């Protein structure tokens, strides 16, 4: 179900850009175009643009990380990202949003995830960035394997385990959107 090599799974609407960027080949890494995402959210009505960039670390508990490999359940990840953006819009008055996550091999120091939000006032844009990265950590089906010189391990987000009881709950079978009930329409670009 992963997007093919070099494909970008894009989603969102005219004010929301969502991209899941797959690696095109081992010799041609697809980096996240951070400037393009910032440009996307630039808006004359906005007084602030806030961004969050998640980068890959070179050590974990003293072990040297050689590289990180990401994979995703791409259609569901795109859907969850759209829902996270809609939930952010229901909480804060935002102008434009861009969210991107990279898949495949991501070298140490590169951006694996990027969020940009514009709003009239800075607090709304900053709060929305934090909310969206927390939602990604908790509920967007993307996985990361850390590869060390002497082994490898699938990482597990603490936020996932905090959210897990709600994900598996027997009562509420409605599509879940962080509990916000947002009904934003999602278009496929």
Which residues lie near other proteins (CB under 8 A)?
A: 1, 54, 70-73, 75-77, 79, 101, 112-113, 133, 136-145, 154-157, 160-161, 164-165, 167-170, 173, 175-176
CB of 73 to other proteins, least distance (A): 6
Closer residue to other proteins in complex, CB, 31/161: 161
**Number of neighbouring beta carbons within 10 Å of residue 116:** 27
- Listed residue (98, 114, 103) closest to 30, CA to CA: 103
- Would you say 173 is a known binding-site residue? no
Closer residue to other proteins in complex, CB, 42/156: 156
- Would you say 71 is a known binding-site residue? no
Burial 75-100 (b: 16+ CB within 10 A, else e): bebbbbbbbbbbbbbeebebbbbbbb
CB of 19 to other proteins, least distance (A): 14
- Would you say 122 is a known binding-site residue? yes
φ and ψ at residue 29, rounded to 5 degrees: -75, 140
Q: Quick check: helix, strand or coil at residue 145?
A: strand
CB of 121 to other proteins, least distance (A): 26
Distance CA 52, CA 116 (A): 7
CB of 38 to other proteins, least distance (A): 19
**Number of neighbouring beta carbons within 10 Å of residue 147:** 13
CB of 90 to other proteins, least distance (A): 19
- Would you say 155 is a known binding-site residue? no
Closer residue to other proteins in complex, CB, 6/156: 156
Closer residue to other proteins in complex, CB, 46/131: 131
Distance CA 90, CA 43 (A): 19
Q: Which residues are annotated as a binding site for substrate?
A: 121-122, 137, 144-146
């Amino acid at each position: 179900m992963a997007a093919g090599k070099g494909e970008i799974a894009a989603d969102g609407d005219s004010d929301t850009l969502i991209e899941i960027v797959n690696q095109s080949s081992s010799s041609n890494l697809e980096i996240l175009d951070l400037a393009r995402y910032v440009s996307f959210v630039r808006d004359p009505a906005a007084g602030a643009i806030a961004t969050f960039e998640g980068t890959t670390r070179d050590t974990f508990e003293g072990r040297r990380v050689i590289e990180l490999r990401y994979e995703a359940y791409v259609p569901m990840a795109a859907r969850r990202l759209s829902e996270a953006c809609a939930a952010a819009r229901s909480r804060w008055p935002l102008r434009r949003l861009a969210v991107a996550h990279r898949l495949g091999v991501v070298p140490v120091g590169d951006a694996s995830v990027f969020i940009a939000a514009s709003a009239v006032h800075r607090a709304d844009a900053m709060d929305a960035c934090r909310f969206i990265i927390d939602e990604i950590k908790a509920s967007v089906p993307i996985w990361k394997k850390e590869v060390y010189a002497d082994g490898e391990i699938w990482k597990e987000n603490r936020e996932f385990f905090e959210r897990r009881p709600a994900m598996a709950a027997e009562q509420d079978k409605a599509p879940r959107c962080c509990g916000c009930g947002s009904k934003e329409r999602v278009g496929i670009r």
